[in-house]
Structure 1
Amino acid sequence: MTKTLETSRLTLRKMTVADAEEVFENWTNSETVAKYLTWAPHTSIDVTKEYLAAEEDSREEGWGIVLKETNQLIGNIAVVGNNPKTKTKTMGYVLGEKFWNHGYMSEALTEVIAFLFANTDVNRIEAEHDIENPGSGHVMKKAGMCFEGILRQAGFNNRGIVDVAMYSILRSDLK
């Protein structure tokens, strides 16, 4: 069960199918938002409803990002990969374009990292981004993650096969 988290400006909560209209309007229909992602922009609200129904049933560690000031759902953040052998969790996130460059995603990622280290046995939290999307790397740095390097032609997104920048934070980094 996804636990609701709070920061000074955000509430992080489980998303439901009831959120479909806002999710569709704020980010899933946007070609600009999806450019560096692995899923195509949603062509209708029904596609967003199907996505949310699948997420609602399957994702344990995923949060919708709600802006407290307006109670608006502006993006989401989730654990998209989990390797129990290495105690590694991989993060993924997306934010509606009109909410970029306000520090919201760094704030959400920082909160989720703190939550995961406090409430799970995770040792490493990692994330990667297409090198043509440096804004995502800034989010990771602001959240305390360290740049590890470029993995050449190791990613695939809506641009095709791409180089990705890898970032991580270890439990030992917090001491």
Structure 2
Amino acid sequence: MVATLETNRLKLRKMTVDDTDEVFENWTSSENVATYLTWAPHSEIEVTKNYLTFEEHNRNEGWGIVLKETNQLIGNISVVDDKPKTKTKALGYVLGEKFWNQGYMSEALIEVIDFLFETTDVNRIEAEHDTENPGSGRVMEKAGMTFEGILREAKLNNRGIVDVALYSILRSERK
């Protein structure tokens, strides 16, 4: 069961197949949003429905990001890799472009980091971004994550094989 989290402006909750129309409209169909991601923009709403069906039944650490003011679903944030042996969780996130540069993703990331440190035995939380997408790195920095370095030509996304910047925060660094 995914816990519902709240910040001043946001509610983070489990996404369901009932969110299909809003998710498709706000981010999965956007070429701009998908530029630095590993999945192609959804050309048909059925692709988003299939994605949300999977999320609803398989993701225990994933949240849709809802604006409290309008009850609009604007993005999502999830644990995309869990490494129990090293007590490490990797996070991934996406936000609809009309909601960029308003501090929403940093607010959501801080809440998820705090939640994971408070409710799990995780010691390290990490995230990475395509180096051509520095805005994502600023989100990580605002959330207290430390830049660790560049992994050269280490990932494949919609731009091809790319360099990625790696960030992390350790339990001992949590404020």
**Consecutive unaligned residues in structure 1, runs of 5 or more:** none
In structure 2, the partner of 1:68 is: 68
Secondary structure (helix, strand or coil) at the match of 1:150 reads: strand
Deviation at 1:87, TM superposition (A): 0.3
Q: Which residue of 1 aligns with 2:107?
A: 107
Distance 1:22 1:31 in 2: 16
Aligned match of 1:162: 162
Structure 1 residue 3: Cα displacement? 0.1
**One-letter amino acid of the counterpart of residue 105, structure 2:** M
Map 1:13-162 → 2, pairs under 5 A: 13-162=13-162
Please report the RMSD computed on the Cα atoms of aligned residues, expressed in angstroms.
Answer: 0.6
Measure, in 2, the Cα distance between the counterparts of 1:174 and 1:38. Answer: 29
**What SS is found at the alignment partner of 2:85?**
coil
Distance in 1 separating the partners of 2:35 and 2:104? 20
Letter in 1 for 2:113: I
Q: TM-score, normalised by structure 1?
A: 0.99
Q: Which blocks of at least 5 consecutive residues in structure 2 are unaligned?
A: none
**TM-score, normalising length from structure 2?**
0.99
SS at match of 1:41: coil
Deviation at 1:174, TM superposition (A): 1.7
- Within 2, Cα distance between the matches of 1:44 and 1:135? 28
Q: CA deviation at 1:155?
A: 1.1
SS in 2 for 1:85: helix
Q: Offset at 1:173? A: 0.5
Paired with 1:148 and 1:4, the residues of 2 have a C-alpha distance of 30
The one-letter code of the counterpart of 1:108 is: A
Question: In structure 2, what residue type is equivalent to 1:131?
Answer: T
Percent identity (aligned):
77
Alignment size in residue pairs: 175
